[in-house]
Structure 1
Amino acid sequence: MKVQGKIFSVVAVLGVAVIVTGAIGLASMNSLNAQMDRLDSLDQQAYFAERLNGAITAVNASNRGITSARNAEESADYLNEIKKNLETLNQSVADWRGVVAAEDMPLFETMARDVGAYGALRLELAEFGAREGAAAGMARLKEPDVRANRQALQKSLSENIDKVRGALDPLRAEKAANYTTAFWTMLASAALALLVGVGIAIWIGTAKMARPMTRVASALKQMADGNLAVATEPKPGNDEIGDLWRTTERFRVALAEADQLKREQEATEAARAAQRRQLMHQVASDFERAVGGIVQGVSAAANQLEASARAMAHSAESTSGQLVTVASASEEASANVQTVASAAEELSASVGEIGRQVMESARIATSAEGSAQQTSSKVERLSVAATRIGDIVGLITTIAEQTNLLALNATIEAARAGEAGRGFAVVAQEVKNLATQTSKATNEIAGQVAEIQTSTTESATAIGAISAVIKDLNGIATAIAGAVRQQDAATQEIARNVQEASRGTGQVTESIETVSRAASDASAASGQVLSAARELSRQSDLLGSEVNKILSTIRAA
């Protein structure tokens, strides 16, 4: 049964209790109303009897007044009073008849006949006394039939009055007793109905609402504390609490799957990070062995080239200063030029090898960049999974808000029920507190999901930085390749100059001037070779520094 149905059940029980109490009160009121009608009838009969008795007394007094009248005028006045009192007498009988119960009517009719006979006789006596005189009237009053008539009326009137009094006192006592009985009956029925209603309300609120909600809250708290093996309700009902149990179970399963996925992703990420670090160290080592050897070769070749240039300059100076030994100097210069040519060819070969190694470094950097992009794609999938978890948390927040709304509705209904709904208000408040705790727990989970998303974003940023470094490394390798190509061109230029010097030494034997010019050319060429050798040495040092930076960056990643 839904929570709304449970609340309606309690209201229905209280309604039935109110109806039963009202029915008992209505029956008691009907009984009291009948007794009040009977009392009212008896009170009216007593009033009419009193008025009838007063009219009889007045008629008797007027009859005696006629017997003592001093003249005809006084007799006429008394006669008029008698007629007036007889009218009151007859009216009292008629009014009394209207309130007499059916079972009392025979006794009343006897009295009514006696009243009629009494009135007719008293009118006759009054007219006789007024006509015959006071003495005759007095004599007539003392006759036996007059006394018998008066006694018969007094008897029937007394019987009716006694009947009224005899019924009035017990009826009043019965009314008081019935009122007391009705009062205590209504009070007891109301108390019993209240106890039954409150008992059922407490039972429904405790056994059907509060305790299940407490178990749900305990399960959610344990789940929030990280205990995903908490036991849920095996057979939840079809009410809102059952829906909470089913939602809690789905939430627990989702959290367990998310936790398992998180552990798997952490393990995968750790393995990938270790593999990536190992790969970076391997790349750095290979690059260091390849490029480092090339740099050392370039540096050695540059040093050798510089030494050769110095030797060539010294030879040119010796040739210019010792024209006397032109032949021998020419032969020595030719030999030196051949040496320089050989060194230039070796330098050109070394520079070509440097270019090839640099291109291989660029290819490795491009491969590392592709691996970084694959890692970034996987991190993005991790972020999407975290977003899905956030969506599940949003669904739980929506359910908590609906539970809060139901608690608010229950609080409103409890407020409408007044005092009887106070227990429902407490239950509704507990439901509302539970919904608030559920909302807080989902907010904490949402915060954890946000931290996961932040971590994945930072990982993506770091991978992007690594990709940028690798791109920079690729650019540096390209720049090095350009520099090597320039060095290759310079080396070829040196070779050509050496060839020119070789041809000049072949012409030394022709003339001193030719030897002098050749010596000057050799001196200039040696200066250029020396400058190129120094530049090559500087660039080889710069290349070594850049290689060290690249290796440091790769190892740090």
Structure 2
Amino acid sequence: MKWIRSSISRKVIFSILILFLITFSIYGYVLRTQIRSSFEKETEAKLMKDSQKIATEVNLFLERYMTIVNQMETNQDYLEILEDIENRANKREHPLYNKVVEQLAAIKNSDQNISLAYLGLGEASDLITQDYDYDADPDYQIRGKGWYQETIKAGNTIVTEPYVDGVTGGLIISVAKPVMQAGQDLGTLALDITLDDISKILSNYQVAETGYAILISKNGTIIYHPNEERVMNDNMSDFDGALGQAASSMQAGESGLINYEFNNEQRLMAFNPVANSGWSIGTLVPKDEIMVEGNRILFISLVLLIGAVLFTTILISLLLKKNLKPIDKILAAINNVAAGDLSTKVDLDQADEIGRIATALNQMTANMRSIIEKVADTATDLSASSEELSASGEEVASAAEEVGNAIQQVASGSEEQSAQVDQTNVMIKDLLEQIEEVENMSKQMDTQSNEVMENIKSGNQSIDNSVNEISSVKNNAEEVSKTINNLGELSTQIGDIVALINNIAAQTNLLALNAAIEAARAGEAGRGFSVVADEIRQLAEESENATVQINKLINKIGAGVDNAVDKMNNTEEVVNHSVEAIDETRNYFEEINSASLQLAEFIDNISSKSERVNLNANKVEEVVNEIAKVSEEAATNAEEVSASSEEQYSSTEEIVRASDQLAEMANELSESINKFKF
């Protein structure tokens, strides 16, 4: 793929090949479908036409012998002998016997397919043939034979079902016509015909490589098949599926075309009826052989297509190579420009995209050449100017350095005087800072003493609140104690009521028991009263159980009330002790408040004296600051002049360095420009 991506022509050719492959694949598929459809239709038409043709030939074969039989009916000798002979004994005595035998022999000898020409004698139950000495078997009953019955029933010339000749072992048929008189059968006129010629007609037929024809009788028996083992042994009606359905259609005298599978092979068969016989001709071919010629045509078409693709690909490749050849010139020119050769020019006399690319490249090269020439001129001028600037800067730097040295000496004396004044000023500032610290500490102590006084006031207020709340708690506890005592008394009263209910339940239970005894004595009359008594007794027992449970709960409540009373009494004692402790705490806070007031007065005295000392120290600091200011102004002026001279010297050195760098850059630019070829 990398090899393809590295060339436009290869990309185009590869894309065209892909397009051709897709197009020709679709074309090949459509072509194969069309060829297959065409060959199938052509084969179907051929099979149908062949089956019709073979059916016509077989019908002509049968009609020839049916015509002979019909002509025999016009022979009065045949009719007379059939009418006269009533038993076997006198058949040779009939005056027409010899003549009839000779006529039958003539008919038999006229056609090699006629194996026997004969008259069937209905009354005599015998046959007169071309053989003078022929006699039927003694037990031969002609009217019991199937062919005879079929002929009489048809009332016209018929072709019988094929059967195997007992003498020759060959397959033969009988063509027979009944002779009737006043509704009574006198006998038949008949020919036995061998089917050798029909077999030859069918065996000579072939379609594709292994296609063949078959012939079946009106009952479905196979009369002809290339595989002789199936002749007279197989019946098409016995097959299942499409083949069995086709057999039904063939027996019904229909024409048609079917697709069926036999021995895992798909086949196509056309069939047509044989007139005047009830037979049917089938022509068939394996479907794989239909496309043998079609595949050959398809193969040739595909070979031609592949050849056309290859030829077209080679032609396109040559055309692309020719049309894309100028790109190599453009690429070489671009490489030259990349290497610095701006004198490169592409000469192409083309109006297409490649020609426009070449024109744009020449224009770009010309523009770059013009720009580089201007840059080269500018670089030359810049190099000269930077060298002049560097020389001037060095002279200015030398002068600035001398001025700086002189000013530095003046600044040194001013700095010494200023340093002494600064040292004095520092000592005074230290003193002021210490005084300020004392003053600040006294202010902080004053603030803290005020906070302590406030805290003491808050503590006294909290103590008063605590005394009031504890008194409230004491009063509430006394009320709760009274309520609990009342609850205990009520529990005692409830217990008395429960005892009364319990006694009533016991008496009710006793009465119910007596009632039950009386009801038992009353027998059936007291049974209803006994049930009621039982219900009353059960209610009495449940009431007694309930009173027992209530009594237990009352006892628990009483115990809880006693416990609560004891705890409330303890709580009252604790509250009294708390009130006493809070009163002692109030006394302590009053003593602390008195001491705090004395401390606040002492702190105020210290703060006022610190303020006086601070005022005097500030006056001294102002005088020293005036002296320092004068000294600093002198030193500052000298330093400013010295700094200005140093800055001028530094700026001059920077200008010199910049001009050197500029000259170096100009030289590098010139060297870079020299790489280009104009």
Structure with greater proportional strand content: 2
Alignment TM-score, normalising by the size of structure 2: 0.29
Q: Hey, which of these two has a bigger chunk of helix by percent?
A: 1
TM-score (norm 1): 0.33
